[in-house]
Structure 1
Amino acid sequence: MSALPGAPRLVRPLLAAFLAVAVVDLAGLLAGWHAAHLAAKPLLLPLLAAYAAARGGPRPLVAALLCGWGGDVLLMPGADAAFLAGMGCFAAGHVCYLTLFGRGRASVGAGTGYAVALAVFLVLLWPDLPGGLRAPLACYSLLLATMAWRAGLLGRYAAAGGALFLLSDALIATGIADWPPLPAHDFWVMLTYLAAQYLLTTGALGRLDTATGTGGAAHRAGGVRI
């Protein structure tokens, strides 16, 4: 996906806007300012998707981020139907990420580790989950773990992003199961989630820069290396 004419000039402002809104959202969660979270959350993934598009990011990446935005918005009401719809949006985003990663051979060791961690977590969580959510959560968790495993095909940043995505959703699942929450539980959910999406984006854009030989130009246009 080629960046639109003039888009490189938007790279830095879009990234700055995403980071600023993320700070507002996380600060609001820490301080208990629910209105700040409600205002900031719907803006986060569209800004990150626009940043990726301005960098000329691949369509599956932009689609995955927009699916994440749909999931973010649908999870806000808290009703079961909205939760399932939001989970469906995130599942579609994981399929987009898997399409982006391609068919390369991922690490067998990492795959085994994810499989064992997923099995143990589901066994522990299963008795405390609402009956109607058990099967959907199990299927979604398998898809998410597969995405997290194969994210390593795009390098260490994307691999870290996949792992953090799994951690963020695991924290959400413990809340659904009514396990004792962490202090500032919602803050940690959003921090790991936003870091995950940003690192996956960084990994995908870094691979694009390497493939096209535009890494230096992208950096000058506002690309960030972590």
Structure 2
Amino acid sequence: MNRNQTITYAILGITNIFSGFLGLEWLNFLTKPLLMITLAIFYFQHVKTSLNTVDRIMIIALVFSCLGDTFLMFQGKNPQFFLLGLGSFLVSQLSYAFVFRKQGKTQHIRRIPFLIYVISLLTFLFGSIPAAFKAPVIVYACAISLMGITASERTSSTNSFQQVLIGAILFIISDSLIAINKFAIAIPLSGFWIMITYIVAQYFIVNGILLNRKQ
């Protein structure tokens, strides 16, 4: 993305993060959905003259990420919103995995760290997850593992590869923090760590795919 787009997204992300510190719920509700909408608009601006299947799937991933963000804002009022958010992000993760696989070549050894991490995380959390949430969380954990694996197996320029892989890892960290904070241990400043990793993750994924597309 260009400099102005990066600055705009950064300002929006910083505003959202500080809305939590300042206790401005209305500002959080305004800026959080706008994060992914803004990224989707910026992405579309770069590809609109030659839109292809990968571009459409990328936009779908960002739209469902926006839906996931929106649903999760209401999870405190109704637990079902957590499942709706999880379902929305599931679509997003599978969409990213599809895009990454389109640009990838299988290198099985790269799968091992992601599989070990997700299995370890599920083992740690499993006893704390309510019965109604166990199956959805397991499915989602498989999806984020797949997303990470496909990011690590992409064939692209070094810069594009590194940005997408860093983005994928940060996305997994952000989701892990959500799960740990919700089901196991209260993490100090959890909102800050969850959002900063998520905001940077999505930026790196989008920018990395745009770099690969230009090349």
TM bracket, shorter-chain basis: 0.7 to 0.9
1:15–1:51 contact (8 Å) kept in structure 2: no
CA distance in 2 between partners of 1:40 and 1:148 (Å): 27
1:87–1:140 contact (8 Å) kept in structure 2: yes
**Cα distance, 1:52–1:141 mapped onto 2, change above 3 Å:** same
Q: TM-score, normalised by structure 1?
A: 0.82
With 131-140 and 29-38 compared, the bigger mean Cα shift is at 29-38
**Cα distance, 1:123–1:16 mapped onto 2, change above 3 Å:** same
CA distance in 2 between partners of 1:203 and 1:189 (Å): 21
Match of 1:172 among 173, 178, 202: 178
Q: TM-score, normalised by structure 2?
A: 0.86
1:21–1:44 contact (8 Å) kept in structure 2: yes
- Structure 1 stretches of 5 or more lacking a match? 1-7, 211-226
Match of 2:37 among 24, 46, 60: 46
Residue type at the aligned position of 2:73: M
- Structure 2 stretches of 5 or more lacking a match? none
Matches within 5 A, 1:114-133: 114-133=114-133
RMSD: 1.8
1:14–1:50 contact (8 Å) kept in structure 2: no
CA distance in 2 between partners of 1:121 and 1:34 (Å): 31
Q: How many residues align?
A: 200
Residue type at the aligned position of 1:188: W
CA distance in 2 between partners of 1:60 and 1:34 (Å): 31
The DSSP-based 3-state class of the residue aligned with 1:77 is coil
1:106–1:149 contact (8 Å) kept in structure 2: no
Matches within 5 A, 1:68-217: 68-78=65-75, 79-103=78-102, 104-152=104-152, 153=154, 155-181=161-187, 183-210=188-215
CA distance in 2 between partners of 1:82 and 1:98 (Å): 24
Q: Which whole-Å deviations, capped at 9, do the CAs of 1:140-189 have from their partners, x for residues lacking one?
A: 011111101211315111001111111000000012214131x2110100
Match of 1:217 in 2: none
CA distance in 1 between partners of 2:70 and 2:106 (Å): 32
CA distance in 2 between partners of 1:130 and 1:95 (Å): 24
Match of 1:21 in 2: 12
Match of 2:63 in 1: 66
Q: Which whole-Å deviations, capped at 9, do the CAs of 1:64-123 have from their partners, x for residues lacking one?
A: 111100111111111221111111111111121122123532442331011011111111
Residue type at the aligned position of 1:35: W
Matched residues, percent identical? 25
CA distance in 2 between partners of 1:70 and 1:127 (Å): 29
CA distance in 2 between partners of 1:15 and 1:157 (Å): 14
